[in-house]
Chain A
């Protein structure tokens, strides 16, 4: 590959990006081979559908997180936000059932309120970060605690459950398929494509990268930094609300245990995918692969008994580090060769 890079006479640029894309993909393929050799059921149609559907939650949230992180921010509140939105959706739908009876509108009302809540919550994070001049880490740490407590409070410490007749109408959103592909996967694909276009083909994506690289320079270049940064948090909120819309019909419930640690999984998916945690460079495609890797690890561990249950966390840790090393490591090698 290094030879071809020399031949094209463009040392570095296109070549480096190739490896950056390839790193996570290689890790995912390796993981699939390991999974298949441990248990052939790994590549059965049902299991692949399970992995893809599961990864949709983290994946959709992680696409939003890619923008926030690329623009130099961070959002720790996404897991709590998902639990909070799920809880409020259920409360709204249950009261709508009591007031007007059950119909498709009950579910649409729930989804609509989810979108409004997600956008609103994202705006609050963005506004406090930009206009309030508080570090994103602190703002979202604060909102993380607030949303988590609120859902616990609404649920009285227990679980909020969706009215069973409303659930019947809503259930297909998670469990049904179109062209043999589950609906959550279609949503994930759509979000990923829109995210990719937004990041790579629009001014907004370039602004995000510019701000993440150097906020001052971006400001002097007449980029409306605060507006763009706030928009990334709103986008993140929107992604969380979409993920919640497909999450709620799965179990029809929300509790304080919903979405715990999703923020870390989303951030991990983004970084595994090749986005820089310090900002300035974002890869939506990589993020999708990162989310698939994380889900596949958990799935493989469940499909085999050769690894002690107590070591699950360790295996995940090793694979995450290895996946990122593969990408950064080959990047370093690429640079060296390019410099020769």
Chain B
């Protein structure tokens, strides 16, 4: 009997001690896709930078970053964050909207504060905070720039990403803005946000159309492939290329006054840092943070390029 009492007593104290520590330390889980391509590489880097900065500034905040290779993997990550780490808040960039809506809801039901980044869930009522780039604005800003450089009867080609909602939003906004300007869109093809595909699709556009005045590549990885194809064909004097995202090599080129890629349109991988800042602010700030934060997609030009240039980022 006495032994049993001691054991129970010990268990009770350890549980109490455990919860005391948990109260001191606020644990925030950050679940993002693994760095499988340039943009996600940049996003991972910015997440790690934000973790260092926020933990140094707030000793009671513990950020736990986990990366997933697919939606199923990410769902398991979320379960682990709740059961193993006992997180009080979650910052999540869902791999795909549909399959992750229920897993995130389960985290919400455990009482955690939820911040969703970039790709929205099918049920927006789950999230406390939503942080995202603006694909519609990105397409619109790109088209607006095209209109400043080109006019009636000029020809452009478009290289798209992967068939997804995000890509369609960019494309539709671009086409809506370009309509009525007299600029001909010769054709659009998918280049899968990939340099090699960008190179090959552009080569084929070049052999198909003798007169191209502008290229909307809408992504900087594709842009790098397009640049090589155009240079190899010796047609770099007759056209210009508009990319997107804000890759450091492209931003550097814009800063240095590259004529082939004169501008870039921002779709910031650093948005994960914004989301982490807002989530931490929920615990440390006296201001309210709940709501949606839609980040702008400004045009990066030679004048303002310096503020978008992160030489240490892998992207």
Instruction: Spell out A's residues near B (CB within 8 Å).
Output: 39, 41, 44, 46-47, 50, 54, 152, 155-159, 161, 175, 250-251, 253, 255-258, 260, 298-299, 302-303, 305, 309-310, 312
Contact = CB atoms under 8 A, between A and B. Distances in A.
A251 B228 CA distance: 7
Q: How large is the interface on B (under 10, 10 to 19, 20 to 34, 35 or more residues)?
A: 35 or more
A85 B201 CA distance: 25
Interface string B227-239: 0100011000000
Interface stretch (B13-21, B35-43, B114-122, B293-301): B35-43
Nearest to B233: A46
Contacts of A303: 204, 207-208
Nearest to A253: B195
A253 B187 CA distance: 28
Contacts, number: 96
A302 B157 CA distance: 12
Given A152-B35, A253-B195, A257-B36, A159 B208 contact: no
27 contacts: A41-B207, A44-B207, A54-B200, A152-B35, A158-B35, A158-B315, A159-B41, A159-B221, A159-B314, A159-B315, A161-B249, A250-B196, A251-B195, A251-B224, A253-B224, A255-B38, A255-B41, A256-B36, A257-B38, A257-B221, A260-B194, A299-B204, A302-B200, A302-B201, A309-B189, A310-B163, A312-B190
A2 B89 CA distance: 75
A258 B249 CA distance: 18
B205 interface: yes
A262 to B, nearest CB: 10
B228 A250 contact: yes
Nearest to B203: A50
A19 B203 CA distance: 35
Contact of A157 (B41, B189, B199, B208): B41
Contact of B35 (A47, A250, A256): A256
Interface of B: 34-38, 40-42, 44-45, 160, 163, 187-190, 193-196, 199-201, 203-205, 207-208, 221, 224-225, 228, 232-233, 249, 313-315
Nearest to A247: B196
Contacts of A256: 35-37
A255 B38 CA distance: 8
A309 B199 contact: no
A50 B160 CA distance: 21
Contacts of B35: 152, 156-158, 256
A302 B225 CA distance: 16
Given A158-B314, A251-B195, A50 B41 contact: no
B308 to A, nearest CB: 16
B208 A41 contact: yes
A302 B199 contact: no
A257 B207 contact: no
A7 B11 CA distance: 94
A37 to B, nearest CB: 15
B207 A158 contact: no
A255 B225 CA distance: 13
Given A156-B41, A255-B38, A250 B221 contact: no
B194 A257 contact: yes
A298 B204 CA distance: 10
Given A161-B249, A302-B201, A257 B37 contact: yes
Contact of A305 (B34, B163, B187, B203): B187
B4 to A, nearest CB: 50
A310 B163 CA distance: 7
Instruction: Give the one of B194, B208, B313, B315 with max A CB within 10 A.
Output: B208
Contacts of B37: 255-257
B204 A309 contact: no
A250 B229 CA distance: 9
A161 B195 CA distance: 12
